[in-house]
Structures are given as C-alpha cells and as structure tokens.
C-alpha cells in the first residue's frame, strides 16, 4: 500500500515546469517595465523641467527695469511659453528677419519663372543709398563696386548694415514684405519705414512686432513650406552668420544659432532659432522702455540660457532622464 504524500513534498515535474515558466514571464514583465518609460511618465518629468524654466524666465523679466516680452516655442512638440508676448514692441533691426525672408521667397518664385528679386542680382553701390551706421557699404566705392543681393543680405545679417538693408527693401518692395506677413496671419509685425528714417519714426511709422508673431514667422520658415528644403537650409545658414547679439552670450559655443538682434534707444531685442541637437526651439525676447540697456541685454541672454537648459536636457537624455553617451 503506497505511503501518503507529505504536504511539503516537491511538486511533480509538470507543476514545476509550469511554475518556473510563470516566474520567468513575471520577471520579464517587471524587467520591461523597469527598462522603459510611459508617455505619461515622460511628460510628467518634462512638465517639471518646463515649469522650472517658466519660473526662471518670469523672475528674470521681473528683475529687469524694461518691459520684457518673451515667446519660446518647442519646434518638436509645439509646446510654448508666452510672457507679455502679444504686446507690440519696436523691432529695431529684428524686422530684417522679414526682409531676408521676402528676398528668399522672391528668389524661389523667380527661379520658377515669376518676376522677383534673385540672390544673384547685381547692385552697383550708389552714394545716394548710404545712411549712417553702414560700416561696410560706406567703405565701398560708389559707381564702381558691384555686389549681389546675397552680398547685401550678408551685410544686413552679419553687421546689420542699414544701407544694404534699405537697398534690399527697395528691391523686394516694402508692400511685398507686409503682404507676406499678413498672409501668415501676423497682424502687428510690419515694416513701415527704411532704416535710420527718424522722421518717419517721429511721425508714428515705426517697424513693429510681437514676440509671439516673431516665433510664428520663424516656425513657418523652419517647417520648410515657405521656401522648400534647399532654400530653407540656405536661409538659416545665412541667418547663422556670426554676429554680435544677445541670444548666444550665455549658452555653450558651437551651437547653430540663426538669429537677428536689434537695438534702439530704450529697446533691445533678439529673435531666432537655436538648433539644439534633437530639440530645436524658436525664441523671441523683446524689451522696451528700458533705462539700463546692458541689463536688458543680459536679461535676453539669461532668458535664453534658461530656455536652452530645458531643451538641452530633454534633447540629449533618454525618456527616463539619463544621458547615455
């Protein structure tokens, strides 16, 4: 007669295999959960970093004696931060973004057979076109020196040459610049006068924009639909020409930064795209009514660094926040 089996006896072979299989599956399931993140968890962590950035920007703006407007747009997921971003500010030379874009738009249309300015069109320097603060154009020989529209655009971007800008405004047409801006849905970004036209400014014809509209303009160009990919790349390469500006001051060197600063009495602005690897973003910081212009310039730099800190961390980290090199 067989002996009764003790309660603590080992299970049979089949039960053992089944138990082992279930255990391995459970371990595999736990391991996979530990090795990856969920979209909700990833977003929650990024929300914390984004909120830290917003707090930093607000504190910087509050500590600045000027009126500060900020627009920051994530070109990857379209998350945006706006502070006084719909107020209208004098653009100073930041309006040259729109002049450059219209030149490239006309070049694209001219290449397709429509009338318009081309990057390669020649211009002979004319003394009547020269205005103050034009260090490059003012040093060229009137009636002799010939440059292309691309050369003029390079002067406009790199050294903010006002004579070169005015020639381009006349060549592309102020009305065409404004028609394109209106076509983008921008209501307050307008080119109303040539550079250094003080009488026009005194008469109320000021070049204006809002921070929100400037990043909208930059986003439209970045998407590639306005110019097509080859010209889009060329446009941002042109805009990345090295220049004295406020956006790059406190962020690491080596980043591609396509921006255009502007300054007038009591006004300091800068707007552009910072091509952070894996996480590019558009930013516009506009200041007006400022007494301490150096403080305003540093505030633009500090706001940019606060934004860069977010995009750099998100761009180079895993969903869990680890940097794997």
Q: Return per-residue pLDDT of the chain as tens, 325 residues.
A: 554 554 544 555 555 545 555 544 444 444 444 458 999 999 999 999 999 999 999 999 999 999 999 999 999 999 999 999 999 999 999 999 999 999 999 999 998 888 899 999 999 999 999 999 898 999 999 999 999 999 999 999 999 999 999 999 999 999 999 999 999 999 999 999 999 999 999 999 999 999 999 999 999 999 999 999 999 999 999 999 999 999 999 999 999 999 999 999 999 999 999 999 999 999 999 999 999 999 999 999 999 999 999 999 999 999 999 987 7
Query: SS in 3 state form for 98-163?
Result: HHHHHHHHHHHHHHCCCCCCCCCCEEECCHHHCCCCCCCHHHCCCCCCEEEHHHHHHHHHHCCCHH
How many domains does the chain divide into?
1
Check: CB of residue 290 under 8 Å from CB of residue 268.
Answer: yes
Predicted pLDDT at 11: 52
Predicted pLDDT at 24: 45
Question: Does residue 33 belong to any structural domain of this protein?
Answer: no
Pairing of strands 67-74, 281-288: antiparallel
Question: Does residue 26 belong to any structural domain of this protein?
Answer: no
The rounded distance, in Å, linking the Cα atoms of 72 and 29 is 40
- From the list 263, 273, 268, 207, the residue with the least C-alpha distance to 235 is 273
For the four alpha carbons of 155, 161, 166 and 167, in that order, the dihedral sign comes to: negative
CATH of the domain at 121: 3.40.710.10
Question: Does residue 227 belong to any structural domain of this protein?
Answer: yes
- From the list 48, 47, 52, the residue with the least C-alpha distance to 79 is 47
Question: Does residue 84 belong to any structural domain of this protein?
Answer: yes
User: What residue spans of the chain are helical by DSSP H?
Assistant: 13-35, 39-62, 96-111, 149-158, 162-172, 174-183, 198-202, 211-223, 229-239, 293-316
Question: Does residue 42 belong to any structural domain of this protein?
Answer: no
Question: Does residue 198 belong to any structural domain of this protein?
Answer: yes
Query: Strand, helix or coil at 205?
Result: coil
Question: Does residue 323 belong to any structural domain of this protein?
Answer: no
Residue 58 sits in which domain range? 49-315
Question: Does residue 217 belong to any structural domain of this protein?
Answer: yes
Predicted pLDDT at 323: 87
């Amino acid at each position: 007669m067989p002996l009764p089996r003790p309660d603590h006896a080992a299970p049979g072979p089949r039960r053992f295999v089944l138990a082992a299989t279930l255990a391995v599956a459970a371990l595999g399931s736990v391991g996979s959960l530990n090795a990856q993140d969920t979209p909700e968890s990833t977003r929650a962590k990024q929300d914390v970093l984004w909120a830290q950035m917003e707090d930093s920007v607000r504190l910087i703006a509050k500590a600045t004696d000027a009126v500060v407007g900020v627009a920051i747009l994530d070109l990857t997921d379209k998350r945006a931060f706006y502070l006084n971003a719909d107020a209208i500010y004098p653009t100073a030379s930041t309006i040259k973004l729109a002049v450059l874009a219209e030149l490239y738009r006309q070049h694209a249309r001219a290449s397709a057979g429509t009338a318009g300015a081309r990057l390669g069109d020649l211009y002979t320097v004319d003394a009547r076109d020269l205005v103050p603060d034009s260090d490059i154009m003012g040093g060229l020989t009137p009636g002799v020196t010939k440059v292309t529209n691309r050369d003029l655009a390079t002067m406009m971007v790199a050294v903010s040459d006002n004579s070169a800008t005015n020639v381009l405004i006349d060549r592309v047409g102020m009305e065409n610049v404004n028609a394109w801006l209106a076509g983008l849905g921008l209501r307050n970004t307008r080119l109303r006068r040539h550079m250094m036209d003080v009488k026009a400014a005194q008469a109320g014809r000021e070049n204006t924009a809002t921070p929100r509209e400037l990043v909208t303009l930059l986003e439209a160009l970045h998407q590639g639909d306005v110019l097509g990919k080859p010209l889009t790349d060329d446009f941002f390469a042109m805009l990345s020409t090295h220049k004295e500006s406020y956006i790059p001051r406190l962020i690491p060197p080596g980043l591609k930064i396509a921006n255009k600063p502007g300054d007038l009495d009591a006004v300091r602005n800068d707007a552009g795209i910072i091509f952070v690897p894996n996480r590019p973003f558009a930013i516009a910081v506009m200041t007006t009514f400022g007494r301490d212009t150096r403080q305003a310039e540093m505030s633009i730099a500090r706001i940019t660094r606060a934004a860069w800190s977010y995009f750099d961390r998100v761009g180079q980290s895993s969903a869990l926040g680890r940097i794997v090199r």
